[in-house]
Amino acid sequence: MESSLNCFIQIKNAQRIAIITHKNADTDALASSISLKRIIKDNFEKPEKKYVVDIFTDSIEFNKKDDYIIQNDEFNKQTCDNYDLAIALDCTNRDRMGIYDKIFKKATDTLNIDHHSTNDRFAKNNIIASNCSSTSEIIFILFIQINKLKCSAGTMSVIYSGIITDTNNLSQNMGPKTFDVINILNKLTAKEGIELEQVRNYYFKSNTKEQNALLAHALSSLVYSDDGKIAIMKIEKEDFEKTNTTMNDTLGIVDYAINTQGVEIGIIFINQGDDTYHVSLRSKNNINVGIIAQQMGGGGHTKIAAFQTKQSDNFKYIRTKLIDICEKEIIKTSDLEDGDLTNLFSDMFAEDQKNDDNK
Ligand SMILES: [Mn+2]
């Protein structure tokens, strides 16, 4: 993070700050925005210098579960004509800011903090840490761990929410430091009587009966392609109506596709109703679905990516094009056999041998 020092200067030099996160904000987007706002307020403000920090996201509604982290924070209330500093959080490119790109464009200074490797580096200062699980993790490492700024236990539990949801309960997208960060967060919050395990249960062990019904619809749509290497699911508008669920209830369903033996790419098409399909991709064996999603106009990480398509009339065409790109990507990465651990174990023992030799 070579530009991390500059970001402190940027915040110190500003007084009116706009934090802009992406369209249809997920937990990491909201958690990183809210925690950064609180960190700025708690650490940079002085009696003679009050900060204005407004958060913007082009979202119609939030995931109900995120009410817990949002609490009393206000969104999309523009209190300045022109901000001294606009901070984009968790946005791969400017398009991700939706209608609030106009605020970013007008701001005197700009900062971009993100963990997506496909980030466009569109700001004056870009802190792109693609080895972090989430933007919330970057906020923690940069402001709390490295620079020792003050942070309440409540704010740390918000940061934790961003990390556990972006890693799907610490199962994917983990960075080399993520477990350390989780351990530190657990210790620091326990001192204040906050049990982070409860936050984890709240997000991951609380499916509703309606969500189970939606999952049943999605599973019955499951089909396989490319000799069972690609698994595709589909949720239609009617499935939401029949099960009394919304887009928010689809989180984690695509994992059933990728968690299947022999499957290397899991895909779910979700018809949001407004002639838009939201398409989520998951992978294993080092297949980079971020590259696949990029070719379809979206983006993401190696193992998690997504794109949207407006042409639901032409669903078959999009599906064929996507499968074609997936097949090419599978061929490109076909050097690792699914479930073949022989080489992995022999490498581990070789490493042990070396360590013994050094003793
Ligand atoms: Mn994120």
Between CA 256 and CA 166 the distance in angstroms is: 17
C-alpha distances out from residue 82 to 12, 23, 85, 90, Å: 17, 21, 9, 22
- What's the gap in Å between 31 CA and the centre of ligand 1? 10
Walk me through the domains of the chain, giving residue ranges and CATH numbers: 4-203 (3.90.1640.10), 209-332 (3.10.310.30)
Per-residue confidence (pLDDT) for residue 5, from 0 to 100: 82
Both tokens assigned to 276: 């838009």
- What's the gap in Å between 90 CA and the centre of ligand 1? 5
- Write the pLDDT tens digit of every residue in 234-257: 999 999 999 999 988 998 899 999
Work out the pLDDT band at 311, boundaries 50, 70, 90: low
- Write the pLDDT tens digit of every residue in 19-29: 999 999 999 99
Per-residue confidence (pLDDT) for residue 343, from 0 to 100: 56
Per-residue confidence (pLDDT) for residue 345, from 0 to 100: 56
Please give the model's pTM, rounded to 2 decimal places: 0.75
- What's the gap in Å between 189 CA and the centre of ligand 1? 22
pLDDT greater than 90 at residue 218 = yes
Per-residue confidence (pLDDT) for residue 300, from 0 to 100: 86
- What's the gap in Å between 92 CA and the centre of ligand 1? 10
- What's the gap in Å between 235 CA and the centre of ligand 1? 23
- What's the gap in Å between 107 CA and the centre of ligand 1? 23
- Write the pLDDT tens digit of every residue in 49-106: 999 999 999 998 888 889 989 988 899 999 999 999 999 999 999 999 999 999 999 9
Per-residue confidence (pLDDT) for residue 355, from 0 to 100: 47
User: What are the residue ranges of helices labelled H in the chain?
Assistant: 4-13, 27-44, 67-70, 101-106, 135-139, 153-166, 178-191, 196-204, 209-220, 237-243, 255-258, 289-295, 315-332, 342-358
**Residue 215: is it exposed, middle or buried by C-beta count within 10 angstroms (0-12/13-18/19+)?**
buried
User: Residue holding tokens 């500093």?
Assistant: 85
Per-residue confidence (pLDDT) for residue 313, from 0 to 100: 62
Q: Which residues surround the ion ligand 1 when the cut-off is CB under 5 Å?
A: 28, 90, 134, 166
- What's the gap in Å between 318 CA and the centre of ligand 1? 26
- What's the gap in Å between 37 CA and the centre of ligand 1? 17
- Write the pLDDT tens digit of every residue in 316-326: 899 999 999 99
